[in-house]
Amino acid sequence: MEKVWLASYPAGVPAEIDPHCFASIGDLFDRSVARYGGKPAYTNMGASLSYAELSRQSAAFGAFLQHVLKLEKGARVALMMPNVLQYPVCLFGALRAGCTVVNCNPLYTTRELEHQLRDSGAETIVIVENFAQTLQHALPKTGIRHVIVTALGDLLGFPRRQLVNLVVRHVKKMVPAWALPGHRRLSDVLSEGSGLQLEKRDIGHDDIAFLQYTGGTTGAAKGAMLTHGNIIANLEQAHAWIRPFLSEGSEIVITALPLYHIFSLTANGLTFFKIGAENVLITNPRDIPAFVKELGKHRFTAITGVNTLFNALLNDANFAALDFSSLRISLGGGMAVQRAVAERWRAITGHTLVEAYGLTETSPAACINPLDLTEFNHSIGLPISSTEISIRDDDGNELELGQAGELCIRGPQVMKGYWNRPEDTRRAIMADGFLRTGDVATVDPAGFVRIVDRKKDMILVSGFNVYPNEVEDVIADHPAVVEVAAVGVPDERSGEAVKVFVVRKDASLTREALIAHCRENLTGYKVPHQVEFRDELPKTNVGKILRRKLREAAPSSEG
């Protein structure tokens, strides 16, 4: 497809970036530390780590991995924690040691965590103690040999560390009882590692930086292999896009989305680190009043989030009273931004809520709207620098401008493939290097891309992918269920919610019992909000359940 979008680029944004400007993420890290050493890099709960302090602590962690745990280059290190200071310390420590990071959602159930740890082959995990009980149950069926545990407040300094940990453990009772024989405490690991030398390993663009797990159409999560080259390219692409609008070394970005999510990881945790910004980490963004109170403490210049997060902020009575005079970038991704939310955001903050688009498989940024938009345009923006798009029909033929077809993407940020899944990789990445996104889109003459529909049956709940097959597999395990189908239905709070249609084997099965079963086996956002019991489900002539017809009927009353 002709790159018609280049004519719509904001002034100062290049058509191409140099994906080889850094040898690795560690190389980028070292250059940022050298340039911004005394500035705060990450702030959380009133405590900050400077670039220099982060370098010192991450080197200690990396040296411990190398010399005490004897981890070789490429060893998988799982991180399972919310947005706390320990995350960047362990993230950069593992990467600098030459390891591959496996991000784990702290809300995983035992089943989900067990699958990801087994599939990735992770040997080591760093986990916040709040979630250690889940690991305790999953551990026997994994290859984990080293467990490192931390408490939420461990890097906050005295006396805040003691106070936060006391409240979390004994007042709010947020730490279920757990037992992990042989585990180490992160504080001890950092202390021991501080006396060791981090060895510089030969890490290049082809080495895997992250196994970033994403749902698959079979219901089993797959690890997207994101190389150092993929991430460096995407950081350069994102930086090229924001450079005309920001000042390096002086920005403050609000990081409310969890850093284990690819959007927040790259857009906030790494891109803003590259330009010497301060990342304000929000540990629990669901506590909107506390979140708004925290916002009031910072003259923030940028904020990213999903539509539901922005909507929740707008509905807080105190949000409108904040000072938005320093804000320059409001970026929405992970799910579609709703026009009503964007219009309210502009009315209250005075700034346009800009929509972007990406995938785990694209590290993630692929399209971003110009940051100087004066109003919401309901598109996902323009393909970013060094990115090609193509709109294809079902046979892989390219369509003309304006025609709807599958959005396909090619660029240096496209993943290496799926971990240990060559067939899935071949289905996802075509022979010409274009990645199939599964999204149906159109491109207008100015190059703006608009998503029409999703080709896959994936359900998007607050920016997180929920695949029907996974939900169906869990429900089908219930002894009172004959058949089940899951679809997405509109939801004001989360964009979409899961609804299931169930044929019962036992008429005494209730909605409440089924939901309880799901809560035991699925992360919260995957649990169905609606259950409708039916005598039969619509099927094709070969017996395949017709989810399309169920989606059309989804607004009907619950059973």
Residues 53 and 197 both lie in one domain: yes
Residues 432 and 485 both lie in one domain: no
Which of 152, 180, 203 corresponds to the end of one domain?
Answer: 203
Q: Taken in order 336, 384, 225, 255, is the CA torsion positive or negative?
A: negative
- Position 557 scores a pLDDT of 43
CATH value at residue 463: 3.30.300.30
Residues 64 and 177 both lie in one domain: yes
Residues 420 and 488 both lie in one domain: no
Q: 470-504 pLDDT, tens per residue?
A: 898 899 889 999 889 999 999 989 999 999 999 99
- Position 539 scores a pLDDT of 82
- Position 216 scores a pLDDT of 44
Q: Which phi and psi angles does 497 have, rounded to 5°?
A: -135, 165
- Position 465 scores a pLDDT of 82
Task: Tell me which residues of the chain have a pLDDT lower than 50.
Answer: 216-218, 556-559
- Position 558 scores a pLDDT of 46
Residue 210 lies in a domain: no
- Position 422 scores a pLDDT of 97
Residues 402 and 542 both lie in one domain: no
- Position 140 scores a pLDDT of 97
- Integer Cα distance of 224 and 226 in angstroms: 6
Residues 492 and 534 both lie in one domain: yes
Distances (CA, A) of 96 to 184, 198, 223, 381, 429: 21, 8, 21, 34, 29
- Integer Cα distance of 236 and 87 in angstroms: 23
Residue located via tokens 């105190």: 318
Which of 404, 428, 454 corresponds to the end of one domain?
Answer: 454
Residue 262 lies in a domain: no
| Beta-sheet strand order (sheet of 252-255) | 47-50, 40-44, 278-281, 252-255, 302-305, 329-332, 353-358, 365-368, 382-383
- Integer Cα distance of 142 and 384 in angstroms: 39
For residue 79, give its domain range.
49-203
Q: Which residues contact 377 (CB under 8 A, 6 or more apart)?
A: 369, 448
- The model carries a pTM of 0.88
Residues 123 and 180 both lie in one domain: yes
- Position 470 scores a pLDDT of 87
Which of 437, 454, 471 corresponds to the end of one domain?
Answer: 454
378: left (phi over 0), alpha (psi -120 to 50) or beta: left
- Position 335 scores a pLDDT of 78
Residues 149 and 199 both lie in one domain: yes
Give the distance from CA 91 to its chain's centroid. 15
Is 446 strand, coil or helix?
coil
Residue 15 lies in a domain: no
Residues 449 and 467 both lie in one domain: no
- Integer Cα distance of 319 and 293 in angstroms: 9
CATH value at residue 413: 2.30.38.10
Residues 186 and 140 both lie in one domain: yes
| Beta-sheet strand order (sheet of 146-150) | 184-185, 146-150, 124-128, 76-80, 100-103, 208-214, 222-227, 417-418
